[in-house]
Amino acid sequence: MSAAPLLEIRGLKAGYTEVEVLHGVDLTVCEGEFVCIIGANTAGKSTILRSISRLVPRVSGTLRFAGTDLMTRSSFETPSLGIAHVPEGRQIFPDMTVEENLLLGAFTARTASDLPARMQDVFTLFPRLLERREQLAGTLSGGEQQMVAVGRALMLKPKLLLLDEPSHGLAPKVVEEMHDAFVQIHSRGTSILLVEQNVGLALDVATRGYVLESGRITLEGSAADLNENPAVRAAYLGI
Ligand X SMILES: Nc1ncnc2c1ncn2[C@@H]1O[C@H](COP(=O)(O)OP(=O)(O)OP(=O)(O)O)[C@@H](O)[C@H]1O
Nearer to ligand X, 20 or 31 (CB): 20
Choices 43-51, 63-71, 74-82, 123-131 (CB under 6 A): range interacting with ligand X: 43-51
Nearer to Mg ion, 102 or 202 (CB): 202
Q: Is 6 in contact with 33 (CB distance < 8 Å)?
A: yes
Choices 16-24, 96-104, 152-160, 178-186 (CB under 6 A): range interacting with ligand X: 16-24
Closest to 162 (Cα-Cα) out of 220, 40, 78, 218: 78
Which one of residues 33, 38, 45, 155 is an interface residue with ligand X (CB under 6 A)? 45
Q: Which long-range contacts (CB under 8 A, 24 or more apart) does 165-169 make?
A: 165/46, 165/88, 165/195, 165/196, 165/197, 166/86, 166/194, 166/196, 167/196, 167/197, 167/198, 167/201, 168/88, 168/89, 168/197, 169/142
Say which entry of Mg ion, ligand X, none residue 37 contacts (CB below 5 to 8 A, set by partner kind).
none
44 forms part of the interface with ligand X (CB under 6 A): yes
Which one of residues 12, 27, 46, 99 is an interface residue with ligand X (CB under 6 A)? 46
Q: What single DSSP character describes residue 70?
A: G
CA angle 221, 194, 72 (to 5 degrees): 100
Question: Could you tell me how many residues of this chain bind ligand X (CB under 6 A)?
Answer: 12
d(CA 22, CA 62): 13
Nearer to ligand X, 9 or 98 (CB): 9
Least spacing, CB of residue 24 vs ligand X, in Å? 15
Which one of residues 46, 53, 227, 229 is an interface residue with Mg ion (CB under 5 A)? 46
16 forms part of the interface with ligand X (CB under 6 A): yes
39 forms part of the interface with ligand X (CB under 6 A): yes
Nearer to ligand X, 46 or 78 (CB): 46
Query: What part of residues 51-80 is at the interface with ligand X (CB under 6 A)?
Result: none
107 forms part of the interface with ligand X (CB under 6 A): no
What lies within 8 Å, CB to CB, of 36 at 6+ separation is 193, 194, 195, 196, 202, 203, 205, 206, 208, 209, 210, 223
Least spacing, CB of residue 34 vs Mg ion, in Å? 19
Nearer to ligand X, 119 or 163 (CB): 163
Least spacing, CB of residue 43 vs Mg ion, in Å? 8
Residues that bind ligand X (CB under 6 A): 16-17, 21, 39, 41-47, 88
